[in-house]
Amino acid sequence: MSARILLVDDNHIQSATRQAILEGAGREVCIAQQGQEALQRLSDPEISPAFGLVITDHLMPVMSGQEFVAELRRRGLTLPVIVLSGLPDADAAYQGLNVVFRLKPFDPDSLIRLVQDLLGDSMRRSA
C-alpha cells in the first residue's frame, strides 16, 4: 500500500479540492483542520506509520503552518512536508525546517507530480 497523505488546512474548500485531486490520482488522504489535530494523528503509533507526506497551508488560526512544521521537526518527525501559501515571502519562515514551499494557486498536475517526486513512486491518474 502506498503512503497516506496528511493534508492540514483550515479552509474546507481548498482541503476538499486537494483531497479530490490526490484521491483521483490514487492516493489516500486524511484531512486535519488545524496543526494540533495533525500533530495528534502523527503522534498516534497505530496510524502515524501510514503517513508518508504532509501538505500544510501556511496561514491557519491557532497554530500557523510554520509553528506546526517547527513542532513536527522538534518531535523528530522527518517525513516530507509541502507548504502552500499565497504569500511569496512566507518561505523565509521555513528556513532550516526541510520543507518544499510552493505558492498558491498550485495547479493539480503540478501537485500530483510533486507528491509523486517526494514519495518516489508513480501515482496514476484514474480519470
Q: Is the pLDDT of residue 126 over 70?
A: no
Higher pLDDT, 30 or 123: 30
* pLDDT grade for 106, boundaries at 50, 70 and 90: confident
Cα–Cα dist 74/3, whole Å: 22
pLDDT of residue 64: 96
Q: Percentage helix, strand, coil, to 5, in the chain?
A: 45, 20, 40
Domain residue ranges in the chain: 6-119
pLDDT of residue 2: 67
Query: Are 61 and 10 in contact, with CB atoms under 8 Å apart?
Result: yes
Three-state SS at 55: strand
Q: Is the pLDDT of residue 124 over 60?
A: no
Least trusted range by pLDDT, from 13-22, 57-66, 113-122: 113-122
Three-state SS at 120: coil
Cis peptide before 105 (omega within 30 of 0): yes
User: From residue 20, how far is each of 2, 79, 92, 100, 114 by CA, in Å?
Assistant: 17, 22, 30, 21, 16
The pTM of this model reads 0.92
Compute how many other C-beta atoms are within 10 angstroms of the C-beta atom of residue 48: 15
User: Check: CATH 3.40.50.2300 for 6-119?
Assistant: yes
- Grid cell of 106 as nine digits: 498550485
pLDDT of residue 120: 86
